[in-house]
């Protein structure tokens, strides 16, 4: 850990020490930019895709965590601090404890649940019947609720706005249904999915892969649904479903909230219109107005579904384009909006939904039927990808 002095300077400032920030910083350093600084306040780094398995009782927070200092790239400076403001004209970031001047800045600051968007959602999360796998603190509670439910109504929501891997809420829904089926209580539990898409997943081929499992578990799917408010005391969720107001009671609620990017992005006039997300060219990841400002990951407006699995492509493209611009060339590496959502349909079987900005399938694993539920994909998601993350991705490889 390095404490920030009153003022210092760096060649490339990377804001955020998650998947995007660390892997990008490692790439840039390996490509010859020796003065790279990461600003990240947290002391612990989490492999966030594992939160679904924590919520299903198949993993623990400890197993998905590492000390932040252990995952920082060698040769990259770490300031353990928080960005308060960014002045893109003066090329200065104001931290809690000082200022940092930079030549280029890359926004990899992620996003966070916008609890204010849905009245009552924060109170519901603090109550005894609702949880979410979108936070490290609440994912273990999800498992407690699933484990203890024997009868009643379980609601699972999908966000109707920006969020990391928004359809990932289906993963915990299927894992819960499978658990209840194995325990012999599924017939006493009514499961309902609320999704803003017009179909189960929103991609035709993925829909066809998931629909047999929706039928198997007897899940009711409410499409074109948006959560409007939650009454934690009465355990009722208010939503608009296909334009009609609905009130849904619940005994268990897994709520996937819409997210927002850090406020300082909009305050620096770097956000897209009507958004909190950095206004970058979705192909080159360079800011539309300021060529020395870049962004990728959950804090960037990329006109595609955000996901951790997309970051390897994004960081590679961003690094190539940043170096090209420094050499006086136009950016020529383009991001096609690739994203991925692994969905476990039961314990031991998973599918991988890979698609691009145009919602067309974009498979990356040759000769493997990614939409056929298999033990291979389950093992890949639960065992292989975490090892790849810690040992390869965070090294910028």
DSSP states along 68-105: HHHHSPTT-EEE---EEEEETTTTEEEESS-EEEEEEE
Number of Cβ within a 10 Å radius of residue 32? 7
Instruction: Rounding to the nearest 10 degrees, give the CA dihedral for residues 328, 301, 165, 391.
Output: 20
**Per-residue model confidence as pLDDT tens digits over 277-317:** 999 999 999 999 999 999 999 999 999 999 999 999 999 99
Residues 166-174 have a mean pLDDT of: 97
- How many Cα atoms occupy the beta-carbon half-sphere of 3 within 13 Å? 3
- The closest alpha carbon to 79, from 144, 31, 10, belongs to 10
pLDDT at 3: 52
Rounded to whole angstroms, the Cα distance separating 196 from 87 reads 36
Residues 260-281 have a mean pLDDT of: 97
Token pair of 175 as six digits: 């894992």
**Per-residue model confidence as pLDDT tens digits over 138-157:** 999 999 999 999 999 999 99
DSSP state letter for 207: H
**Per-residue model confidence as pLDDT tens digits over 306-345:** 999 999 999 999 999 999 999 999 999 999 999 999 999 9
Residues 363-386 have a mean pLDDT of: 94
Give the C-alpha distances (Å, rounded to integers) separating 155 from 136, 203, 215, 251, 302.
20, 22, 16, 8, 30
- Residues 6 or more apart whose CB falls under 8 angstroms from that of 89 comprise none
Instruction: Rounding to the nearest 10 degrees, give the CA dihedral for residues 347, 359, 296, 225.
Output: -70
Residue that has been written with the tokens 């931290």 in this structure = 95
Instruction: Rounding to the nearest 10 degrees, give the CA dihedral for residues 100, 101, 105, 109.
Output: 10
Inter-residue contact 219 to 172 (CB < 8 Å): no
Number of Cβ within a 10 Å radius of residue 190? 17
- Whether residue 5 has pLDDT greater than 70: no
- For the chain, what percent of residues have pLDDT higher than 90? 96
Q: How many residues does the chain have?
A: 397
Inter-residue contact 346 to 382 (CB < 8 Å): no
Mean pLDDT score of the chain = 96
Dihedral sign of CA atoms 353, 354, 356, 361 in order: negative
pTM over 0.85: yes
- Whether residue 270 has pLDDT greater than 90: yes
388 sits in which H/E element: helix 385-391
DSSP state letter for 138: T
**Spacing of C-alpha 14 from chain mean position:** 18
Residues 195-204 have a mean pLDDT of: 98
User: pLDDT band at residue 271, thresholds of 50, 70 and 90?
Assistant: very high
- Whether residue 4 has pLDDT greater than 50: no
**Per-residue model confidence as pLDDT tens digits over 210-234:** 999 999 999 999 999 999 999 999 9
- For the chain, what percent of residues have pLDDT higher than 70? 99
pLDDT at 397: 85
Number of Cβ within a 10 Å radius of residue 150? 12
pLDDT at 120: 98
36 sits in which H/E element: strand 36-39
DSSP state letter for 127: S
Domains, the chain, ranges and CATH? 7-111+261-326 (3.50.50.60), 115-258 (3.50.50.60)
**Residue 389, by phi and psi: left (phi above 0), alpha (psi -120 to 50) or beta?**
alpha
């Amino acid at each position: 850990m390095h404490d920030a002095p009153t003022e210092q300077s760096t060649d490339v400032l990377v804001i955020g020490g998650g998947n995007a920030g660390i892997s990008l910083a490692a790439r840039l350093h390996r490509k010859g930019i020796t003065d790279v600084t990461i600003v990240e306040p947290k002391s612990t780094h989490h492999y966030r895709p594992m939160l679904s398995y924590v919520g299903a009782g198949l993993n623990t927070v400890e197993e998905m965590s590492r000390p932040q200092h252990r995952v920082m790239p060698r040769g990259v400076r770490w300031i353990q601090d928080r960005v308060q403001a960014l002045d893109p004209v003066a090329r200065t970031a104001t931290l809690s404890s000082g200022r940092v001047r930079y030549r280029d800045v890359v926004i990899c600051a992620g996003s966070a649940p916008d609890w204010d968007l849905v009245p009552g959602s924060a109170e519901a999360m603090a109550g005894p019947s609702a949880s979410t796998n979108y936070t490290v603190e609440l994912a273990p509670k999800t498992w407690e609720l699933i484990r203890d439910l024997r009868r009643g109504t379980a609601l699972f929501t999908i966000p109707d706005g920006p969020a990391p891997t928004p359809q990932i809420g289906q993963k915990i829904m299927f894992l819960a249904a499978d658990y209840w089926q194995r325990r012999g209580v599924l017939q006493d539990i009514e499961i309902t999915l609320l999704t803003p898409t017009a179909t189960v997943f929103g991609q035709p081929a993925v829909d066809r892969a998931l629909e047999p499992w929706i039928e198997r578990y007897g899940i009711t799917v409410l499409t074109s649904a948006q959560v409007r408010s939650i009454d934690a005391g009465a355990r009722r969720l208010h939503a608009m479903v296909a334009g009609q107001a609905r009130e849904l009671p619940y005994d268990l609620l897994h709520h996937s909230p819409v997210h927002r990017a850090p406020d300082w992005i909009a305050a620096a006039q770097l956000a897209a219109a009507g958004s909190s997300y950095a206004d970058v060219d979705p192909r080159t990841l360079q800011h539309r107005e300021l060529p020395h400002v870049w962004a990728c990951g959950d804090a960037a407006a990329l006109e595609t579904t955000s996901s951790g699995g997309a970051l390897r492509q994004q960081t590679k493209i961003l690094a190539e384009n940043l170096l090209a611009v420094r050499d006086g060339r136009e950016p020529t590496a383009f991001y096609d909006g690739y994203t991925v959502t692994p969905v476990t349909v039961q314990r031991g079987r998973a599918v991988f939904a890979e698609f691009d900005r145009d919602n067309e399938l974009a498979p990356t694993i040759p000769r493997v039927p990614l939409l056929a539920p298999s033990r291979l994909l389950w093992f890949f998601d639960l065992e292989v990808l975490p090892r790849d993350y810690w040992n390869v991705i965070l090294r910028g490889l």
